Amino acid sequence: MLIVNDIINKLPYTDPFLFVDEIDMVSDNAIEGRYTFKKDEFFYKGHFKEQPVTPGVILTECCAQIGLVCLGIHLLNSEEVGSRDFQVALSSSDMHFLLPVFPLETVIVKANKLYFRFNKLKCEVKMYNQETQLVCKGVLSGMIRNNNI
């Protein structure tokens, strides 16, 4: 079984497109992680110039990185998996946005596995803000595969 910190190290993303700071819990059926949006994130420049707001596509990406990719790495359960040893692709998303996320806010993503078979992972995801208010929710699907198999 992978150690939680190893999961983040195996992600195929780097700054400025890494939206995972911590994994708080992972099991074969669920994962919980968090990310704090920095004040100088590249996407804030020009996205509502007077009051920057995190774009929905970035919130979806944060949910996918934690809820699909991190959980998928855990489910592959292979310590040989490195950032170049697997492929991942988002195949569908159905997200509903309820509250804005501003710079310097920390969000918590919780995902529950609906199924993982034939390399397809489908999860129900929910994102909460620091006040535990629901920010967005939805269902994400993706393909994740170990290239060594």
Catalytic (active-site) positions: 47
CB of 65 within 8 A of CB of 83? no
Q: Residue 80 burial by CB count (10 A; 0-12/13-18/19+): exposed, middle or buried?
A: exposed
What sign results for the dihedral spanned by CA atoms 138, 74, 106, 14? negative
Alpha helices in the chain (DSSP H): 4-9, 56-64, 71-76
Closest by CA position to 92, among listed 141, 27, 47, 144: 141
What sign results for the dihedral spanned by CA atoms 125, 144, 41, 104? positive
